Amino acid sequence: MHATPTARKPRRARTRTVLAALTAASALLAGLGTASAAPTPLKPAADKVLINDEFNGSTLDTSVWSAGDSDVNKPTGWIWRYLTKQTPDGSVAHPDQVKLAGGEVDLGLSANPYLDHKYRAGYISTQGKKSFLYGKVEATIKVSGGLGLWPAFWMLPADTTPSDIDNSTALPEVDIFEILGTEGSKTDYMTLHNVRPEDKTGCTFKTTDLSAGYHTYGLDWQPGKMTWLVDGVARCTTTKAVPSEPMFLILNNSAGGCASWGGCIQPSTPLPSHMYVRNVKVTQPDSLMINDTAGGVTYGGAWTYGGGRGYGDYGDDVHYTRANGDSVSYTFNGTGVDFLTEKFSDLGTADVYVDGTLRTTVDLTSTARQVQQTVFGISGLPQGVHTVKVVKRSGTYLVVDAFRTRS
């Protein structure tokens, strides 16, 4: 959690989709016969539950959560020190501020000095235990009101390392909510930041005092799109610079300190304060369609973009190349993946690799044009991060339409 969203540098260079003039698509689009073999609609898939914690026990489920401790001498202290980069009159994380009772977890904030900071606060995180790429996140929470309080529910990349902490302004960050007691807890800040300045997205939802009761805060994260929700109602949507890498969850109470965005704790601020979390749920569709233009799809070689073809392509667009050896790759978190392309007389063959191993060579030739064809699929991979790569081997063209991943 940081102060008010500002322009930040990207954490790493990201491969961008290669776009070329649409006039270059004429070679691919010319002389086409009547399209045949219309794609079969996908059946709706049941959601897969990744996390569903109602905090009914007396201790945290340590297979999902860790309680924060900002002591850098502790095994994971480096991450918590980053999560609580506040001024000395602010707070740092301490596990004694995380308590379970009555079917909820209480993230406290108390005036007990720790690590040269005036306050200690409750933080919990799934870092190193549960991360996910795409899905829906929801948590039912009651925050406390009071000057200087700064509760938050947010996400960071799963591969965050100590070296990233030294350059924390480059870490992509998704704030599902941040609420400031200095503003009467009447504004919910929903932000995707630490991305290119022109793509930074921030929304505010102004309402009555959010500390007066429980509310359900959510994020619907899809390829190329994020939607923030409050009590089931969409309040903010962005399609700019949407992360395409696994992320983990953080929930915390906090005091930023007088020099921070959160402002000073005042004598009138009720302490200890409490952030009550009744439940946290993360679900994913059983399968996800990834368009050829989605973030994380990387192209090697001289590819051309063709949009608005009107032939039934997924997303009504494709990428294509003429050069043998050109490749497309997609890294995903799941147990399986399909490659969807076009089959036609001017296509040839392509090699398909998964995690660097050649799995098969697919024949893409057909006398009649067929779109959205699943020409390769693999299931039963170990749950985790995998990379599929398709390399053009022969023929006039290789066409990329979409990938379908399975969680």
Answer yes or no: do 184 and 277 share one domain: yes
User: What SS3 state is found at 119?
Assistant: strand
Q: How many domains does the chain have?
A: 2
Of 270, 285, 300, which residue sits at a domain end? 285
CB 58 within 8 A of CB 87: no
The structure tokens listed for 99 are: 């308590």
Region class of 301: left (phi > 0), else alpha (psi between -120 and 50), else beta: left
Choose one of 225, 257, 285: the last residue of a domain.
285
Share of the chain residues as helix, strand and coil, in percent rounded to the nearest 5:
10, 45, 45
Q: Are 155 and 176 in contact (CB under 8 A)?
A: yes
pLDDT band at 192 (very low <50, low <70, confident <90, very high): very high
Whether pLDDT at 29 is above 70: no
Structural domain containing residue 295: 22-45+288-406
What is the model's pTM?
0.77
Single out the residue in 237, 268, 285 at which a domain terminates: 285
Is the pLDDT at 336 greater than 90? The verdict is yes
Give the residue with greater pLDDT, 71 vs 80: 71
231, pLDDT greater than 50: yes
Element holding 26 (H helix, E strand):
helix 26-29
Please report the pLDDT score of residue 16 as a whole number. Answer: 32
The answer as to whether 16 is a domain residue is no
Residue 349, pLDDT score: 98
Edge-to-edge strand list for the sheet holding 327-334: 297-300, 327-334, 384-392, 349-354, 357-363
Give the pLDDT of residue 24: 37
Checking if the pLDDT of 165 tops 80, the result is: no
Same domain, 100 and 127: yes
User: Which has more confidence, 19 or 272?
Assistant: 272
CATH code assigned at 36: 2.60.120.260
Do residues 241 and 103 share a domain? yes
> Helix or strand or coil: residue 382?
coil
Q: How far apart are the C-alpha atoms of 177 and 182, rounded to whole Å?
A: 15
Regarding whether 93 and 192 lie in a shared domain, the answer is yes
**Is 10 inside a domain boundary?**
no
Q: Write down the H helix ranges in 114-229.
A: 162-165
Based on the fold, state whether residues 103 and 179 are members of the same structural domain.
yes
Residue 229: inside a domain: yes
pLDDT beyond 50 at 13: no
How does residue 114 score in pLDDT terms, banded at 50, 70 and 90? Answer: confident
Q: Each residue of 363-373: pLDDT tens digit?
A: 999 999 999 99
Provide the mean pLDDT of the chain: 85
**What does the pLDDT read at residue 75?**
63
- Asked whether residue 260 falls in the same domain as residue 374, the answer is no
Identify whether 5 is part of a domain. Answer: no
Spatial contact of 137 and 221, defined as CB atoms under 8 Å apart = yes
pLDDT of residue 9: 32
Do the Cβ atoms of 369 and 307 come closer than 8 Å?
no
9 domain residue, yes or no:
no
Please indicate, yes or no, if residue 14 is contained in any of the structural domains. no
Per-residue pLDDT tens digits for 284-306: 988 999 999 988 899 999 999 99
327 and 190, same domain (yes or no)? no
Residue 267 above 90 pLDDT?
yes
Region 270-281 average pLDDT: 97
What CATH code is carried by the domain that includes residue 94?
A: 2.60.120.200
In a domain, 38, yes or no: yes
**38 and 167 share a domain?**
no
Do residues 362 and 229 both lie within one domain?
A: no
Question: Do residues 139 and 251 make contact, with C-beta atoms less than 8 angstroms apart?
Answer: yes
Residues 179-188 pLDDT 10s: 999 899 999 9
Together in a domain, 103 and 242 = yes
The pLDDT-based confidence of 171 (bands split at 50, 70, 90) is confident
Give residues with Cβ within 8 angstroms of 151, minimum separation 6. Answer: 107, 141, 143, 144, 177, 178, 179, 252, 253, 254, 275
Same domain, 298 and 241: no
Please give the backbone phi and psi of residue 264, each rounded to the nearest 5 degrees, phi first.
-85, 140
Tell me how far apart the alpha carbons of residues 136 and 139 are, in angstroms, rounded to a whole number.
10
- Three-state DSSP class for residue 80: helix
Predicted pLDDT of residue 199: 67
Please provide the DSSP assignment of 210-230 as one string: GGGS-EEEEEEEETTEEEEEE
Residues 318, 201 share a domain = no
